[in-house]
Amino acid sequence: MKFIDKSITRKFVLNLLFIGIILAAIIGYFWIFKAQESVDMPIVFGGAIGILILLGILVYLNFAKPLSLVLVQIQALLTGKPYKKLYTDRIDEIGVLAYFFNQVTKGFNQVSSDLQDRARMIDELTVAAQLQRDILPLESPFVDGLQIVVKYKPATEVGGDSFDIYIAKDKAYIYVGDVTGHGVSAGLMMTMVNSLVAVFADTFNSAFEVIVNVNKYIKKHVKKAMFMTMVMLCFDNKTKKLTFVGAGHEHILIYRHTTGVVEAILSGGIALGMVPDNSKVIKEREIILEDGDFVILYSDGITEARSITEELYGLERLKAAVKEYAPQYSAEGVNYHIAKDVTTFMGTRKQEDDMTLIVMKRDSRNTATEAVKDSSITWAA
């Protein structure tokens, strides 16, 4: 397909030819009808023709040919064919046109390069997101004596919240953690920590030992600017004893069904990756639970969620929600209604951080046939 049918070059040559014909006709007229003896008309005629030819050559070399080269590259660009950069030191209109062409195509090349980089980054992000989905639990496992429901809502394709319910040696390790920031780097650290927890839970016999060894490993292999808060519960299926170890994470909320009181216990400790050996600054403590009591773990994406008026959801609002819903619902119902409450509070405000909510209810009658109906980790509201 041609975008330039009648080029300036062609028009110029046709006009020049037309002028030449007229000039030749005039000279012929004088030669035939007005010739005088003192005028050698063949010489005049020949000189005129020569001047016209010379003029045409000069115009072609200085105007028609350079313009044609520019137009050839422009037509190649418009038709999607390969084009070349134009090299010229002219400062007239043709030089301006060539410079404009070079700048436009330079921009196209940059955009093309950016698109290729973007496509590569999207591919890498997709791989990272899939890796994270594969490492996270797809659903809450059954634990005899506990109703457990986990819900998770990442702020980006790759989240920085770490959580799992890992069964090893007749013990259930229930934990939630939060890597500094979010995105790919946070997601990769989260993936590494989840893998380490699984390895060390199979190797050692307590949450304390698991946390100490995870910390030692990530301190050696993660850059200084990154660390991770965590709180880990350990439920012994034989003794039904519940303990916890904190690593600088949020509070643990406990709802006492006999009094209707919501306790907020500091998890304590220091974030993973802050010091080479955290064994002296963390300890494992027991939580005494009765049937009907709840334990709630969460990431700060919930308490730091903001409304459209910039108000924080906050710890007190979360405690009030637990106090309202715990007397009415199972672990599944409490999780759903808290998630719905947070979502309603935020309204149209964009989520800024990952949100994880783990709700547990001590229930000695909890059996596999009475397990939670919706055990997926997808955010309930």
* Per-residue tens of pLDDT for the chain, all 381 residues: 444 444 455 555 666 666 667 666 666 656 665 555 455 556 556 666 666 676 667 667 666 777 777 777 777 777 777 777 777 777 666 777 777 777 777 766 565 555 455 555 555 555 555 555 555 565 677 888 899 998 888 877 556 788 889 999 889 999 999 888 666 677 778 888 888 999 999 999 999 999 999 999 988 887 777 889 999 999 999 999 999 999 999 999 999 999 999 999 999 999 999 999 999 999 999 999 999 999 999 999 999 999 999 999 999 999 999 999 999 999 989 999 999 999 999 999 998 888 999 999 999 886 544 445 665 666 766
Give the architecture-level CATH label for domain 139-370. Answer: 4-Layer Sandwich (3.60)
Q: How far is CA 241 from CA 52, 173, 267, in A?
A: 108, 12, 18
What is the secondary structure of 267-300 as a DSSP string?
--S--BTSSS--TTT--EEEE---TT-EEEEE-H
Q: Please, are residues 290 and 258 in contact by the beta-carbon 8 Å criterion?
A: yes
Is the CB of residue 69 less than 8 Å from the CB of residue 7? no
Quote the CA–CA distance of 111 and 333 in Å, as a whole number. 50
Q: Where in the chain is the domain with CATH 3.60.40.10?
A: 139-370
Query: Cβ distance 30 to 41 under 8 Å?
Result: yes
Amino acid letter, 228: M
Q: In what order do the strands lie in the sheet with 146-153?
A: 146-153, 355-362, 294-298, 252-256, 261-265
Residue 290: which of 259, 333, 247, 252 has the closest Cα? 259
Rounded CA separation 60/107 (Å)? 31
The pTM of this model reads 0.66
Query: Residue 257: which H helix or E strand, with range?
Result: none
* H helical segments located in the chain: 8-33, 41-59, 65-78, 93-135, 184-203, 207-221, 300-303, 314-325, 331-346
Between the CA of residue 246 and those of 86, 286, 287, what are the distances in Å? 66, 12, 13
